[in-house]
């Protein structure tokens, strides 16, 4: 994959400067379809038309303004399950990179996002967070998303990072032989060796999920169908940190701790 500037030069770098498979940005109100703050659709800014939507009113999350660095977020809360999902299948690369700015309730495990072989359950790549850890789950069987109820062993990938529920930048790199999670630009203690390569199967993508539903806010998600070089990964972290007021969370030696990334 080549990494080139697309469109006109801009003062600051953004994900528009790279090839994205999916880009959801709550700060861009023009991408949100809502009624009475209930979100029925969140449009994809990647140019691929992979909008996430929810037609069932009780399952629609809320658009809340002025939450994170003065910017709006999509909030998943309340007693009903809230989630938004694509109608199209995508994601065929065995190496993928997903960056998200989100918070979550630390009281229980919940799915922040899920890339699934069916609209509800099935073969899954899952990013979930909970009281003690932030984890990956992978399961290629048509069974319960994390494999626990299928009688088969899922590929369970624990980051070794404890989350506290606060808004953070989560950078997830899935490789052919190993995967790594970074929170606010800092990687987990050890990269996780996989038992097999990530499958090149196209899947739907949902923010939140119909099981272990997210209780938290999602500000932005950037999905790249392939690996990213270190320089691009650091620009993504810097872009998200400065935009959402999270620069204090970046490590002291991060190249964009104080400087905004430029093309």
Domains and CATH numbers, the chain: 15-249 (2.60.120.200)
Task: Identify the pLDDT of residue 72.
Answer: 98
d(C-alpha 74, C-alpha 207), whole Å: 10
User: What is the percent of the chain where pLDDT is above 70?
Assistant: 68
Query: What is the C-alpha to C-alpha distance for residues 245 and 69, in angstroms, rounded to an integer?
Result: 5
Q: Is 31 helix (H, G, I), strand (E, B) or coil?
A: helix
3-state class (DSSP) for residue 69 = coil
CB 232 within 8 A of CB 226: no
Burial of 151 from C-beta contacts in 10 A (0-12 / 13-18 / 19+) = exposed
Number of neighbours of residue 78 by Cβ within 10 angstroms: 12
The 3-state DSSP class for residue 57 equals helix
Look at residue 145 in the predicted model and tell me its pLDDT.
31
* Residues 201-234: b if buried by 16+ CB within 10 A, e if exposed: eebbbbbbbbebbbbbbbbbbbbbbebbeeebbb
User: Please, which pLDDT band fits residue 127 given cuts at 50, 70 and 90?
Assistant: confident
- Centre a 10 Å sphere on the Cβ of residue 94 and count the other Cβ atoms it contains: 17
Higher-confidence residue of 203 and 41: namely 41
pTM: 0.85
């Amino acid at each position: 994959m080549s990494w080139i500037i697309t469109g006109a030069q801009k003062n600051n770098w953004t994900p528009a400067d790279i090839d994205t498979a999916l880009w959801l940005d709550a700060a861009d109100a023009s991408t949100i379809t809502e009624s009475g703050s209930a979100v029925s659709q969140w449009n994809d800014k990647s140019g691929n038309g992979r909008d996430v939507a929810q037609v069932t009113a009780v399952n629609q999350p809320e658009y809340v303004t002025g939450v994170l660095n003065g910017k709006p977020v999509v909030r998943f809360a309340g007693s009903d399950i809230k989630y938004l999902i694509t109608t199209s299948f995508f994601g065929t690369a065995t190496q993928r990179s997903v960056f998200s700015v989100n918070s979550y309730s630390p009281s229980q495990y919940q799915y922040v996002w899920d890339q699934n072989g069916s609209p509800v359950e099935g073969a899954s790549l899952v990013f979930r967070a909970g009281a003690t850890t932030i984890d990956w789950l992978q399961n290629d069987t048509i069974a319960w998303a994390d494999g626990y109820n299928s009688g088969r062993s899922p590929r369970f990938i624990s980051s070794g990072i404890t989350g506290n529920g606060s808004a953070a930048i989560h950078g997830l790199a899935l490789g052919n032989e190993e995967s790594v999670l970074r929170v606010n630009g800092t990687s987990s203690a050890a990269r996780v060796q996989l038992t097999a390569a990530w499958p090149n199967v196209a899947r739907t993508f949902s923010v939140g999920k119909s099981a272990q539903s997210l209780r938290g806010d999602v500000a932005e998600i950037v999905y790249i169908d392939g690996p990213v070089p270190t320089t691009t990964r650091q620009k993504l972290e810097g872009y998200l940190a400065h935009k959402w007021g999270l620069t204090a969370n970046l490590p002291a030696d991060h190249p964009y701790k104080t400087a905004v990334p430029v093309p």
